[in-house]
Structure 1
């Protein structure tokens, strides 16, 4: 239960806005005006588009923290520097984390960023891995650095997404330029408690407002 959430391992990750995250479909496409970074806006696709599709009863997604160019001129994805933010880690992975997924439906209207779901007992990886599987006979191949059991993954139904997450530029704490927020500011302590209370309320609502893979 989320009562056991370790606040020191609670992180927020910015993703693109979708209804179901079970692949791109006619009733669940990526809006070019939604947040989530330049890639989904330009290509109308994103790794998180399939984060609610499970393989071997697990779900997989990515916290994308940017790119860099190596000494050979190759573009690489930046790794998660777990040791900079967590004590209970060897730097290669962090277990028993809670990942809160955050999205903005329409950035052109400067709408707030809302919690769209969360994963409990998740594992964060320093290095990306790749998984390949089939969903309804469709091949899925994706890089990931976060995974958890499907039973620990929760998605808030679209019409009930109303829990706003702060931005640094507006509130003095919250998301900055990075797609991952570790909520380490002094003001963030109360917000983490507020987030956990919100999760508990949703889970106590007999899943009327949330779904699972």
Structure 2
């Protein structure tokens, strides 16, 4: 399968700038413009995608013959990151045609015309285009690591060290990007900025296997589950209804979540619901010790 990653500005709908905004799209987007604003606009049964490459797109690296002007049957992975940080998959085209050079949209739709979009680099049938809702964009793409996307807006992911990531991406899109829905209580923390790092962080905390293992480990060692931040014990307060109940917080800061790392029980902390919510409301997520000091200072005040 020929696959290419295209990094663009972050938007909610990619269906025109009206009622939307664009973040971190590079210097050519400094005035909130950019041809990717219509990357998922439906136009006569097709979508016309744009990415800003350095020079021309090397279609030979996507299976085209030498000297060809396009490559057919390509899977295009669209990635982006909001101002909040992180780079995530925002959508994809399958069985797309990727052109070496800019092409003129043969018959621009009204939405294209109102956004001054006349050119494209990639085209696909609308049934082969998938845009991930903003709050579900939690598949993070590493950048400044070996095998990651790097600084280029067009990445061919050809090196051996990228093979594992590519395999995971293919499985992800074949599943239709199906993920478990975050509880409503987490919506406030993710909706406003569409922070993919935070969404991924919250999903990791809800890994049922890890949560259960952490609870059993703490119960075996201490005989009870108390919040590591404030000391609250659900069973002591609620009796049998609180037995074995707690929440589990991932200690790794979201700023470090681009790197691929297996979560261990030492990465998790037992916390009560209140402390957990407040920890995630703080922009720079504190450690448990830092949060305990915060509680102590407020209590002493």
Counterpart position of 1:157? 133
- Equivalence map 1:36-185=2 (5 Å): 36-40=25-29, 42-66=30-54, 78-83=55-60, 85-90=61-66, 91-106=68-83, 109=84, 111-131=85-105, 132-135=107-110, 139=114, 140-167=116-143, 169=144, 171-185=145-159
CA separation in 2, counterparts of 1:10 and 1:137? 26
What's the offset of the Cα at 1:204?
Answer: 6.1
CA separation in 2, counterparts of 1:89 and 1:137? 31
Aligned CA distance change for structure 1 residues 159 and 121 (closer, same or farther; 3 Å)? same
Unaligned runs of 5+ in 1: 1-5, 67-77, 206-213
Pick the structure with greater CA Rg: 2
CA separation in 1, counterparts of 2:50 and 2:65? 19
What's the offset of the Cα at 1:176?
Answer: 2.2
The answer (yes or no) to whether the contact 2:98–2:123 under 8 Å persists in 1 is yes
Counterpart position of 1:35? 24
Counterpart position of 2:16? 23
Unaligned runs of 5+ in 2: 180-301
What's the offset of the Cα at 1:137?
Answer: 9.5
The answer (yes or no) to whether the contact 2:5–2:156 under 8 Å persists in 1 is yes
CA separation in 2, counterparts of 1:136 and 1:60? 12
The answer (yes or no) to whether the contact 2:47–2:125 under 8 Å persists in 1 is yes
Name the one with the larger helix percent: 2
What's the offset of the Cα at 1:203?
Answer: 5.6
Deviations along 1:158-213, one digit per CA (max 9) or x if unpaired, are: 0000000111x2x21222232011001211111111001111222667xxxxxxxx
Greater RCO, 1 or 2 (C-alpha within 8 Å, sep 6+): 1
Name the one with the larger strand percent: 1
What's the offset of the Cα at 1:112?
Answer: 1.4
Aligned alpha-carbon RMSD (Å): 2.0
Counterpart position of 2:166? 192
Deviations along 1:115-148, one digit per CA (max 9) or x if unpaired, are: 0000000000112111142336954532111000
Secondary structure in structure 2 of the residue aligned to 1:178: coil
CA separation in 1, counterparts of 2:101 and 2:33? 22
* Superposition TM-score, scaled by structure 2 size: 0.55
* Superposition TM-score, scaled by structure 1 size: 0.76
Secondary structure in structure 1 of the residue aligned to 2:174: helix
